[in-house]
C-alpha cells in the first residue's frame, strides 16, 4: 500500500469509511430554535399516513452559512420555511449547487439510525470540490443530520419500507453577476417522511435505454451530485415515461 489506501478502496471510500463521533456529540454543533407553530396533529397524521415522496416536510431544517473570511458559521436548526434570496443570487445564474440524499430509519426498539452518513459527507465534499464550492467538516455535515433528526424524531415513520428522507443541499447565495466562485454559500438539510419510492413497491422496474442524450462525459461534472446533471436527464426521463417505462 504505497499510497496508504487499500488496493480495492478509492480515496472517496477511504474518506467515507473513517470513524465518526457519537451522533449526540456532533448534534451539539447546531443550536436549536424550536418551531413556534409546528404542524398540527392532523397535518402530521395525514403526512405520516400518506408517506408521499417529497410532499410533506418536518417542522425544522438545519442551516449553516459559509462566507469568505469566516468559513462556516451560524449553525442552527430552525423552523422549516421559505428562504429570502436575492434575484441576483449566484446559484440562479451560474448553477453552483450540490445536494445529497439519505434516510433515517426507525428500528423495532424505537431507536433511529442512518446508514453510513460518513459516505454521504465524503461524496458531498467531492461534489463541492468539483463545483468550486467550500467543503464542510464531516462532523458538521453529520451534526446537521443528527440535530435535525433528534428535533424532528416524531416525523420518522414506522411502516415497513418507510423512512425519513434527508436532503442536505448547498448553494451559492451571494448576490452578484460575474463568472467566478461565490463568496457566500448556504447549507440546508430538510426532511420528508416517505414510503417506497416506486408505486409498485419492492418489485422490478422497467428501464428505457436512451442513446440520444448524455448525462456525463470525460472531464465533466457527471460525478458531482449537482442539480444541472438532473435537469439534463428530465427530457429523456419524460420520453421513457411516455413510452410506459419506470426510469431511463
208 and 247 in contact (C-beta within 8 Å)?
yes
Element (H, E) at 50: helix 41-50
Q: CA 154 to CA 40: how far, in whole Å? A: 12
The answer to whether 225 is a known catalytic residue is yes
| Residue ranges with strand state E in 83-201 | 97-99, 102-106, 112-114, 163-172, 184-194
Q: Which of 46, 154, 199, 225 is catalytic?
A: 225
CA geometry: angle at 191 spanning 197 and 146, to 5°? 120
Q: Around Cβ 239, how many Cβ atoms within 10 Å?
A: 15
Between the two ends of the chain, the Cα-to-Cα distance in Å is: 39
CA geometry: angle at 61 spanning 56 and 63, to 5°? 150
For the CA atoms of 116, 184, 190, 205, the dihedral, rounded to the nearest 10 degrees, stands at -60
Say what angle helices 138-151 and 117-130 make with each other, to 10 degrees.
130
79 and 33 in contact (C-beta within 8 Å)?
yes
Q: Which is it for strands 31-32 and 71-79: parallel, antiparallel or unpaired?
A: parallel
225 and 99 in contact (C-beta within 8 Å)?
yes
As annotated, the active-site residues are 225
Amino acid at each position: 500500500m504505497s499510497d496508504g489506501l487499500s488496493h480495492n478502496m478509492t480515496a472517496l471510500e477511504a474518506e467515507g469509511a473513517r470513524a465518526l463521533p457519537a451522533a449526540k456529540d456532533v448534534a451539539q454543533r447546531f443550536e436549536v430554535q424550536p418551531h413556534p407553530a409546528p404542524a398540527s396533529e392532523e397535518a402530521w397524521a395525514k403526512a405520516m399516513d400518506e408517506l408521499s415522496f417529497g410532499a410533506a416536510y418536518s417542522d425544522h431544517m438545519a442551516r449553516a452559512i459559509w462566507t469568505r473570511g469566516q468559513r462556516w458559521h451560524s449553525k442552527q436548526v430552525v423552523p422549516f420555511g421559505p428562504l429570502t434570496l436575492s434575484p441576483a443570487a449566484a446559484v440562479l445564474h451560474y448553477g453552483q449547487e450540490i445536494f445529497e440524499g439519505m434516510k433515517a430509519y426507525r428500528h423495532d426498539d424505537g431507536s433511529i439510525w442512518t446508514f453510513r452518513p460518513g459516505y454521504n459527507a465524503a461524496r458531498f465534499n467531492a461534489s463541492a470540490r468539483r463545483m468550486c464550492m467550500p467543503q464542510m467538516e464531516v462532523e458538521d455535515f453529520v451534526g446537521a443530520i443528527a440535530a435535525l433528526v433528534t428535533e424532528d424524531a416524531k416525523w420518522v415513520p414506522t411502516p415497513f419500507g418507510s423512512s425519513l428522507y434527508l436532503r442536505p443541499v448547498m448553494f451559492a447565495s451571494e448576490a452578484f453577476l460575474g463568472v467566478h466562485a461565490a463568496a457566500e454559500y448556504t447549507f440546508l438539510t430538510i426532511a420528508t417522511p416517505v414510503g417506497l419510492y416506486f408505486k409498485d413497491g419492492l418489485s422490478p422496474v422497467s428501464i428505457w435505454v436512451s442513446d440520444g442524450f448524455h448525462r456525463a462525459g470525460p472531464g465533466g461534472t457527471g460525478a458531482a451530485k449537482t442539480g444541472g446533471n438532473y435537469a439534463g436527464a428530465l427530457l429523456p426521463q419524460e420520453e421513457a415515461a411516455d413510452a410506459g417505462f419506470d426510469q431511463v
